[in-house]
Amino acid sequence: MKYLVIDDSKMARRMTIKSLQNIISQEFEVFEATNGQEAVELYNTHQPDLCFMDLTMPIMNGFEATQAICDADEHANIVVVSADIQEHAIEKAKNAGAIGFIKKPVNEDNLKTMLEKLDLLS
Amino acid sequence: MSDEIILTGDEKDCLQELMNISYGSATAAISKIIDRFATLSIPAIKTISAEDLTKHLLLKLKDNKTFFISNQLINGSLSGQNLFIIDSLSAKNLANEFGLDENEQNQEDIEDIVLEITNILSSTASSKLATLLNTKIGFSSPTINYINSKKDFDCDFECNYESIIVISTNLQFENQNINAELVFMKHKKSFEYLKQQLNEFLDEY
Amino acid sequence: MNTNNQLNNIIFNAVDNGIIILEKDLSIIGWNNWLELFTGKSEKEVLTQNLCELYPYINKQKLLRRIKTVLVTNHSTFYTMDQNNFLIDIPYNNITNSQFTSMQQNVTIVPLDIEKEQVCIFIYDNTSLSETNAKLNDLNKELQELSHKDYLTGLYNRRFFAEESTRAIAMSLRNNSEFSIVMMDIDNFKSINDTYGHSAGDTIIVAVANKLQELIRKSDIAARFGGEEFVLLLHEISSQNAMKVAENVRSMVQELEIETESYKIKFTISFGVAQFDTFKDDNNIEHTIARADKALYEAKNSGKNKVILAK
């Protein structure tokens, strides 16, 4: 399995990756991007199975990146991860193509719930 | 004479992300309470001397601005002081967001609203941070000062804080010209505790 | 299980502050003994009533907002008071001489049940603390007035000037010597404040004060009379010489350039000069000042940046 973690905060990426490591027993590959633009590039190169996308980033934000990736690949799996949990932010993310939303901080519990919900926990 | 408070790169990263999460809670609270969309910018973390903070605050006095500073004391292991700084025009616009139309606004009402926002932002963000770091804190009632000139400035920070860790962010409301700054100041002791907790957090990840 | 309930009951009714339990819509579902005692309303009477209908002077919008905040953040909050300093008006009938006719209160709102959207309002009697604070404020004011100096500039203040001038008159009469008053006022000060900011305005005031200290003799008095107004008391100086002193100050100030962070500011001062005259002034310094003031007014109205002698 390949995962793409997008967040301008190193700590945030670390938290998502560590939680993944704790939940998933099999080996997997993780790619990291620090802004929306990098995210789009890395997605094109590696075609990850699941993306974790932060919303507030410089250069290209999470909404735009989600939109860009989903426009190019309608089967893209993007879960938005954000501290900003206002209703309309969630709406906007959905409209851009996101398939799920995790409220920060990412931990084993909420990550596991999301993976089970998406049926990506094999 | 003051020993510098120093955060390592990792600790800074960690604190930044934790504050980011805490701000998310704070803006969500505002959104629920007054039904308006607000954003807090990504926190800029600096460690500075109390003198520099005073300078930074006095700098706001140029360009003819008058402003409000409200502050809330934090007690417990992360004790310190949170400042909310907003210029008069932004405060008026903020009052609008709270449903007070132009003619209803007098200084007392505006101050009340600034206090309310301070309470919401400061206590929500601080509590969230405390929860993330597995610790408990308490709050005092926020107080407010109207700053017109250097004279109005009661700089007692200089006595209480040798170095200050300043986590500042700008609050912005959609469609409105409201700019405000939230500043978190920590005592040296709580700063040491903070470092400890940050490292524990880092160890988990 | 029962003991917990018992404890709650004891606390609710024995505690020395008011506890109101409210629904989100402000209807009262709890009203403790303290309130019954101080308001004269029993719990039975007020149950299910709307708190703001019961006490229409309470700011309903503010209270509703606060309650909402408490329920959303799950935190207690302080209810900031308006100038009345109470939520519920409880007339304070005390034998001792209290300056407050109503109980001064501190109010906290605490979340009780988030699901049911219920809160508790705690009311504390703050009156004696408020009285002590009020006395302290009065004493501070007195102290400030008793002190002789102006806080911002370090010059003498108006009060001290009044005392000094009385002494000056006495001395003048005794020694048959003369003294003069120079009233001065920074030109267009309001405009300077509006353009460059209050902070710059303060800097200018301090600069003028410092200049005055430099230029006068030890035996003379320089005082800050008001916002941008200064006054000099010059001992053993006739009006002619006082004019020279004033002119000296005027031209020095004209050359000054005040630098702030973003600006270089130039400004001028207008002057009115009057020599104390036993007959004209009827031995009353107020009259001397009035004459100097009139001369100052004339200077302002005839182009500013000049010195005028009083008649």
* Sequence-separated (6 or more) residues with CB below 8 Å from residue A20: A3, A28, A30, A111
ipTM of the predicted assembly exceeds 0.85: no
| Of the partner residues B32, B62, B119, the one whose CB lies closest to the CB of residue C199 | B62
Q: How high is the pLDDT of residue A20?
A: 93
Question: A87–B25: do the CB atoms touch at under 8 Å?
Answer: no
Q: Are residues C176 and C280 in the same domain?
A: yes
Domain annotation covers residue C140: no
Q: Are residues C96 and C176 in the same domain?
A: no
Cα distance from B107 to chain A (closest Cα, Å)? 31
Q: Are residues C58 and C164 in the same domain?
A: no
* Sequence-separated (6 or more) residues with CB below 8 Å from residue C6: none
Q: How high is the pLDDT of residue B1?
A: 37
Which residues of chain B are within 8 Å of residue C82 when distances are taken between CB atoms? 108
Look at residues C75, C105, C133 and tell me which one is the last residue of a structural domain: C133
The partner residues of C79 in beta bridges, in order of sequence, read: C107
Q: Residue B164 pLDDT more than 80?
A: no
Look at residues C68, C98, C133 and tell me which one is the last residue of a structural domain: C133
Q: How high is the pLDDT of residue C2?
A: 67
Whether the CB of C190 is below 8 Å from some CB of chain B: the reply is no
Domain annotation covers residue B2: no
User: Looking at the annotation, which residues of C are catalytic?
Assistant: 228
Which residues of chain B are within 8 Å of residue C224 when distances are taken between CB atoms? none
Q: Are residues C222 and C168 in the same domain?
A: yes
The tokens describing C235, both together, are 């001992």
Whether the CB of B142 is below 8 Å from some CB of chain C: the reply is yes
Domain annotation covers residue B4: no
What distances in angstroms separate CA C205 from CA C151, C253, C261, C292, one per listed residue?
Answer: 12, 11, 16, 21
Domain annotation covers residue B118: yes
Question: B123–C194: do the CB atoms touch at under 8 Å?
Answer: no
Residue-averaged pLDDT of chain C: 90
- pLDDT per residue as tens digits for the range C119-136: 999 999 988 888 888 889
Q: Residue C70 pLDDT more than 70?
A: yes
Distance of alpha carbon C41 from alpha carbon C22, whole angstroms: 16
Domain annotation covers residue C206: yes
In terms of residue numbers, what domain contains C13? Answer: 2-133
Question: B21–A10: do the CB atoms touch at under 8 Å?
Answer: no
Question: B149–C198: do the CB atoms touch at under 8 Å?
Answer: yes
Query: Could you tell me the CATH number of the domain that includes residue C56?
Result: 3.30.450.20
Query: Could you tell me the CATH number of the domain that includes residue B22?
Result: 3.40.1550.10
Distance of alpha carbon B118 from alpha carbon B73, whole angstroms: 11
Q: How high is the pLDDT of residue C174?
A: 87
Question: C72–B115: do the CB atoms touch at under 8 Å?
Answer: no
Please tell me the total count of domains within chain B.
1
Q: Are residues C172 and C244 in the same domain?
A: yes
Please tell me the total count of domains within chain C.
2
Domain annotation covers residue B170: yes
Domain annotation covers residue C51: yes
Look at residues C66, C101, C133 and tell me which one is the last residue of a structural domain: C133
Domain annotation covers residue C142: no
Domain annotation covers residue B36: yes
Domain annotation covers residue C267: yes
Q: Are residues C61 and C203 in the same domain?
A: no
Domain annotation covers residue C141: no
- pLDDT per residue as tens digits for the range C271-306: 999 999 988 888 888 999 999 999 999 999 999 999
Q: Are residues C169 and C217 in the same domain?
A: yes
Domain annotation covers residue C139: no
Distance of alpha carbon C169 from alpha carbon C294, whole angstroms: 20
Handedness of CA C219, C220, C224, C225 (dihedral sign): positive
Q: Are residues C122 and C166 in the same domain?
A: no
Q: Residue A35 pLDDT more than 60?
A: yes
Whether pTM exceeds 0.80: no
Q: Could you tell me if C103 and C86 are in contact, meaning their C-beta atoms sit under 8 angstroms apart?
A: yes
What distances in angstroms separate CA C110 from CA B166, C71, C77, one per listed residue?
Answer: 30, 9, 7
Q: Residue B157 pLDDT more than 60?
A: no
User: Which residue, chain included where needed, has tokens 């001369």?
Assistant: C295
Burial degree of A49 (CB within 10 A; 0-12, 13-18, 19+): middle
Domain annotation covers residue B51: yes
Domains and CATH numbers, chain A: 2-117 (3.40.50.2300)
Query: Could you tell me the CATH number of the domain that includes residue C272?
Result: 3.30.70.270
In terms of residue numbers, what domain contains B41? Answer: 9-204
Whether the CB of A92 is below 8 Å from some CB of chain B: the reply is no
Distance of alpha carbon B124 from alpha carbon B191, whole angstroms: 19
Q: Are residues C203 and C115 in the same domain?
A: no
| Residue to test with chain A: of B173, B202, B205, most A Cβ within 10 A | B205
Domain annotation covers residue B3: no
Q: Are residues C159 and C301 in the same domain?
A: yes
- pLDDT per residue as tens digits for the range A92-115: 899 999 999 998 989 899 999 999
Q: Could you tell me if C137 and C131 are in contact, meaning their C-beta atoms sit under 8 angstroms apart?
A: no
Q: Are residues C111 and C227 in the same domain?
A: no
